[in-house]
Amino acid sequence: MNQILKKVVASYLVFAMTIQLVLVNGAHADEIKNPASPVLHEKISPLAVGFGNLLVPGLGATLQDEPLTGLTEAALEIGSFYGGTSMGRESRFKIDGSIDIPESGSVGRAATARVLQQFGLKYHFYNTFYHYQQAAIADEESERERNNPQPLYRGTWKDVITAPFQWDNLKSNWTWPIVLGVSAYLIYDYSQSSVTLRRSGLSGGDQTVYGASELIAIPVGSSFGEDPLFRGFIEREARGYTGSLWLAVLAETIPFALLHEDHVTSFLVGSYFGIEADALRGDLGPMMAAHFWINVVIGALDFFQMRRAIGKEAPLNPPVVIQFQLPIF
């Protein structure tokens, strides 16, 4: 029995030793013969790629060995955003840009500036998410990626841009109730609020550009750029690091609220979308649809308000107030 045991132990040791020598050092020999290309295609932390690109336009692509893509993105993002600053007076930076629509005179240049800034900012937000998404896919075998409670949103830019028009997204219980509820409240509020008559009218061109800014640029920017950035990247990374849904929702909704004009409403909406991202296992489609259509309603009401303010017809006709400014001595 003793002899048999010794033979078994000895055989196991020889077998284990052989396996180790063949497998481990075989791989080692390969590594020496074919050292990896020194600098290309290294895996990089998705967090570094995401935050790097958020703070430095073009860095995400650069870190992923696509320097020309990074340069093109940076040129479009920075160029259109700062190009916008040359077309109107700047005020505080907000998520829709830094140019305000003037309360008197022409609005065409300011509205064009807002469209440009909207494009630059939201394209930057989307690219930040995109590079984060690509880094996370490249790293999907890692323990951190596999253990993240919020699955990665894998939609392409086409999925993102068409999300507001997908029937599956519109019929989701996370979409139509909030769109209808918020719209009803906004329309009621609009019908009850007064409009200040502008001293000068607006040209047809001014009205068109203003309408395009409010009804197209802002809604598309919100679903195309904001949801992938705040819920697809920031919330997901915070969730991966903390494991807590509430901390993750706070991490995305605090900057989301601070960058919007109405902090409280934005905080509530951001929290709702944050919880939705968790409930739908990372699917951002329904929230993009809801975000888009709510902003279309807001944009339409702003546009109607502008038409009323210049004495034109608009639905619901809220009361008009004529303001007189007395000189101060």
Partner 1 sequence: MMSSLRFLFCLVILVQAMNAWAAKKIPDELQTTIVRLYSEDRCDGVRAIATEIDLTLLRPNVMAVAAYCDPVGKDPEVLFARAEALSPTGDLILVLHGKWEWKHHREKSHAIWEKVLMIARNDYFRSIAKEYLADVVTEASNNQPMDLSPTTEFIRLDVNGIHRLHPQPLELSFLHTNPSNGVSLDAFFSKRKWFPTGSLSLRYETSYDQFVQASEFNQWTNHLESAVALHVASSKDIILTPFIDYRTLGGTPFDFNYGLGMTGAVYRGDYVQSVKALIYTQHIFKSPISAEEGAHYRFEYAWDFYPMLWLITTQFAIDHTSSDPTTSFLGSNGNFEHSNNRFILNCKVERELSRFTFSVDPSISYRLNTDSSSFSRPSDGVVVNVKEEDIEYHVKASVSIPLVKSIKLYAWYEWAHISSNLDENAYVDRNLTDQTVGVGVRTYLSSY
Q: DSSP character for 57?
A: T
- The count of other CB atoms within 10 Å of the CB of residue 157 is 13
Q: What is the Cα–Cα distance from 270 to 250, expressed in whole angstroms? A: 9
> Is residue 35 at the binding interface for partner 1, with CB under 8 A as the rule?
yes
Is there binding between residue 259 and partner 1 (CB under 8 A)?
no
**CB crowding 103-120: b at 16 or more within 10 Å, else e:** eeeebbbbbbbbbbbbbb
* Out of 1, 4, 55, 326, the residue judged to bind partner 1 by CB under 8 A: 55
Minimum distance from CB of 270 to partner 1 (Å)? 24
Is residue 69 involved in binding partner 1 (CB under 8 A)?
Answer: no
* Contacts of partner 1 in 185-204 (CB under 8 A): none
Return the residue matching tokens 């934005």. Answer: 266
Q: Is 133 in the site for partner 1 (CB under 8 A)?
A: no
Q: Which stretch binds partner 1 (CB under 8 A): 40-48, 145-153, 162-170, 238-246?
A: 40-48
Contact segment (CB under 8 A) with partner 1 among 43-51, 160-168, 214-222, 302-310 equals 43-51
Q: Please state, in angstroms and as integers, the Cα–Cα distance from residue 322 to each residue in 52, 237, 313, following that order.
A: 50, 51, 16
Is residue 320 within a helix (H) or strand (E), and if so which, with residue range? strand 320-321
Closest CB 65 distance from partner 1, rounded Å: 8
Nearest distance from C-beta of residue 329 to partner 1, angstroms: 19
Task: Kindly tell me which of 79 and 311 has the beta carbon lying closer to partner 1.
Answer: 79
CA distance 104 to 33: 73
> CA–CA separation, 116 vs 77, rounded Å?
9
| Binding flag, residue 78, partner 1 (CB under 8 A) | yes
Count of residues that bind partner 1 according to CB under 8 A: 45
CA 326 remoteness from chain centre: 45
What phi and psi values does residue 304 have, to the nearest 5 degrees? -60, -40
Report the amino acid identity of residue 309. A
Interface ranges with partner 1 (CB under 8 A): 6, 9-10, 13-14, 16-17, 20-21, 24-25, 28, 32, 35-36, 38-40, 42-45, 48, 52, 55-59, 62-63, 65, 67, 70-71, 74, 78-79, 82, 85-86, 88-90, 98
